[in-house]
């Protein structure tokens, strides 16, 4: 059924190694050449991405780059103008109900549910997935506990705070225990403890085999949550890499010594340009972790009183900033 899906462009470096015989078995989400316009605006101009089962894939791009539009198409809520999509092995265009039943979708804002209580929101969602009333009620109670909303279960959803609404939105996405979870800026408005819990929950779902696709502008958070990253700009895929790869290619490091003079002198002697960091340390460009380890060893052997050395900023942030940013 999926063997006719065209291979993605090697220019995007989408999949390392040979393509699997049945891509849907390894990837929970496959998008190829996906496009979508709104009148004269091209929101998604050509996106290729693959999100592995049992892994968390970050969708990263500037404002207006097409993340939400893409996610709506993957969730089966918006039809693409061109391209192919498979979620959990189903095509949202031709098999809309079966594709949608595979997907848990958490929008960036919860929306209004008039006078329904938090519990009723979840029970009603269960009914739309044809779950029995009893199963829906049991699942609602379970998920309200997971997102710490049991005390507010019978309060009207519209009175919940922004962060509480986000947590209810997450619970709603999980009602039918979907194989694919699509989260649009899920950490927006969450307090620090809720962010940590979100990360833990997402990781545990991935460990159980769920395919998770998550967008966020908080790249340090994605550094800790994601396995893979897809970068988009102006509606096109511009890079896809694993987070481990991003760490290896990490370029800017911050090094600090007890006093800057011996460090500056030594860096000059080994011909390594540097820039000053606000905290009195120096920023240097290093090609990967092995080179960093060598440099640290050499500095110490040369008698430089190094007190700290670490990558400056997260791995994904570095990759993001190295791309031509195109906000709109
Ligand atoms: N319903 C719509 N009608 C007209 N234009 C739209 C519509 N939805 C999105 N767009 C346009 O499509 C482009 C992509 O929007 P989208 O919301 O997908 O971006 P995004 O990457 O999610 O941005 P952000 O990071 O701000 O959430 C934008 O230029 C936006 O103005
Ligand atoms: Mg968006």
Q: What is the pLDDT at residue 247?
A: 66
Nearest ligand to the CA of 72 is: 1
What's residue 7's pLDDT? Answer: 40
Residues 6 or more apart whose Cβ sits within 8 Å of residue 301:
none
Q: Ligand 2 centre from 183 Cα, in Å?
A: 10
CA of residue 236 to ligand 1 center, whole Å? 13
Q: Is the minimum distance from the CB of 35 to ligand 1 under 6 angstroms? A: no
| Ligand 1: residue whose CA is nearest its atom 29 | 64
- Which ligand neighbours the alpha carbon of 62 most closely? 1
Strand order in the sheet with 211-215: 82-87, 27-38, 41-52, 236-242, 228-233, 56-60, 211-215, 180-184, 103-106
Proximal ligand: closest to the CA of 232: 1
Span 248-300, pLDDT tens digits: 666 788 999 998 899 999 999 998 888 887 778 899 988 878 888 999 999 99
Q: Is 313 in the pocket of ligand 1 (CB under 6 A)?
A: no
Q: For residues 127-153, b (16+ Cβ closer than 10 Å) or e, as one string?
A: eebebeeebbeebbeebbeebebeebb
147-164 pLDDT, tens digit per residue, is: 999 999 999 999 999 899
Return mean pLDDT, the chain.
Answer: 87
Give the per-residue pLDDT at 328.
52
CA-closest residue to ligand 1 atom 6: 38
pTM: 0.81
Q: Which atom of ligand 1 is nearest to the CA of 185?
A: 27
- Report residues of the chain scoring pLDDT below 50: 1-21
Query: What is the pLDDT, as a whole number, of residue 19?
Result: 41
pLDDT at position 65 is: 93
């Amino acid at each position: 059924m999926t063997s006719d899906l065209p291979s993605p462009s090697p220019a995007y470096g989408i999949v390392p190694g040979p393509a699997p015989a049945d891509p849907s078995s390894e990837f929970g989400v496959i998008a190829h050449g996906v496009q979508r316009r709104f009148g004269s605006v091209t929101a998604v101009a050509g996106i290729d991405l693959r999100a592995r089962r049992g892994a968390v894939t970050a969708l990263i791009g500037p404002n207006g780059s097409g993340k939400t539009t893409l996610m709506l198409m993957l969730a089966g809520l918006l039809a693409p103008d061109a391209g192919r999509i498979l979620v959990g092995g189903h095509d949202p265009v031709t098999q809309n109900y079966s594709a949608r039943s595979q997907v848990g979708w958490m929008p960036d804002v919860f929306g209004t549910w008039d006078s329904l209580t938090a519990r009723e929101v979840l029970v009603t969602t269960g009914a739309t997935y044809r779950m029995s009333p009893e199963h829906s009620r049991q699942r609602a109670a379970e998920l309200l506990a997971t997102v710490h909303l049991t005390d507010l279960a019978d309060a009207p959803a519209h009175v919940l705070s922004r962060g509480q609404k986000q947590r209810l939105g997450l619970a709603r996405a999980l009602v039918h225990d979907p194989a694919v979870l699509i989260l649009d800026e899920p950490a927006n408005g969450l307090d620090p403890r809720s962010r940590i819990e979100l990360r833990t929950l997402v990781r545990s779902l991935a460990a159980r085999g769920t395919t998770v696709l998550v967008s966020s502008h908080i790249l340090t958070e994605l550094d800790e949550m994601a396995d893979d990253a897809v970068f988009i700009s102006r509606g096109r895929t511009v890079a896809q890499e694993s987070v481990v790869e991003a760490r290896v290619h990490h370029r800017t490091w911050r090094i600090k010594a007890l006093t800057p003079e011996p460090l500056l002198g030594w860096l000059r002697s080994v011909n390594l340009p540097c820039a000053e960091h606000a905290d009195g340390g120096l920023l240097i460009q290093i090609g990967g972790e092995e080179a960093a380890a060598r440099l640290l060893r050499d500095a110490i052997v040369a008698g430089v009183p190094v007190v700290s050395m670490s990558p400056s900023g997260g791995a994904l942030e570095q990759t993001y900033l190295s791309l031509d940013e195109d906000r709109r």
